[in-house]
Copies of this chain bind each other. A is one copy, B any other.
């Protein structure tokens, strides 16, 4: 809602800065892009960045917050759906799937033509800059909702085990995004990083196994996924 006069149209400068910055950061990384590069691409004045965002770090933070809020919303929607489908208690593999699925799909897109938003988030994962680290450190409340869902799903399990399972699931997903290039080179292309569904199955399967451990025959029909192709 606008108040106090006419204010709407003038965010052109602000949005131009945001989209130019996201694209440049996605293409060349945070270290190589200066504010002068951004204002040149957005065709605005240098001082406009500080006027609208306060500092370079706050500009990066705003970009990152916007994108990660969208991902977190997606995660929670999947979690709610899984719990609803299970009558309040989601299957443990569905919880892991809701946790790492949105991020993996957003960053490991199958095409070489990824959106600027996706490539920006990959950069944010690889090049850890102070403003992004600060935001990530405040996402614990979000993860707590997944820890609670895991508790409901496996009420008998030791809480410490659940935390480690959550941690390892995030680790595998995050590192797969971060070091996808290394894995491709190491495996000489035999690990298909474009098969997002297969990677998701793989990470979920290992995460479930980490929790249900040696008792694979007991309750969880978790199996190693095996195949690759598409």
Q: Contact residues of A with B, CB < 8 Å?
A: 31, 78, 81-82, 85, 91, 93-94, 97-98, 101, 126-130, 133, 136-137, 140, 143-144, 147, 158-161, 163-164, 166-168, 170-172, 174-176, 179, 181-183, 185-187, 190-191, 201-206, 208-210, 213-217, 220-229
User: Which of chain B's residues have a CB closer than 8 A to the CB of A175?
Assistant: 167, 170-171, 174-175
Contact, CB under 8 Å: B223 / A190? no
- Tell me the minimal C-beta distance from A183 to chain B in angstroms: 5
Oligomer: number of copies:
2
Instruction: Report the nearest B residue to A127, measured CB to CB.
Output: B128
B223 close to A168 (CB less than 8 A): no
Closest CB in chain B relative to A103 CB, distance in Å: 13
- Say yes or no: A227-B222 contact (C-beta < 8 A), given A147-B186, A190-B160: yes
Residues A226 and B94 in contact in the complex (CB < 8 Å), given A182-B137, A183-B163, A190-B159: yes
Output the nearest chain B residue to A228 by Cβ-Cβ distance: B97
CB <8 Å contact, B171 and A140: no
Q: Knowing that A163-B190, A214-B223, A214-B224 are A-B contacts, what are 17 other residue pairs whose CB atoms are under 8 Å apart, sorted by A's residue number?
A: A98-B228, A127-B133, A136-B182, A143-B182, A158-B226, A164-B202, A171-B175, A171-B176, A204-B226, A205-B213, A205-B225, A206-B209, A208-B225, A214-B222, A214-B225, A216-B216, A225-B225
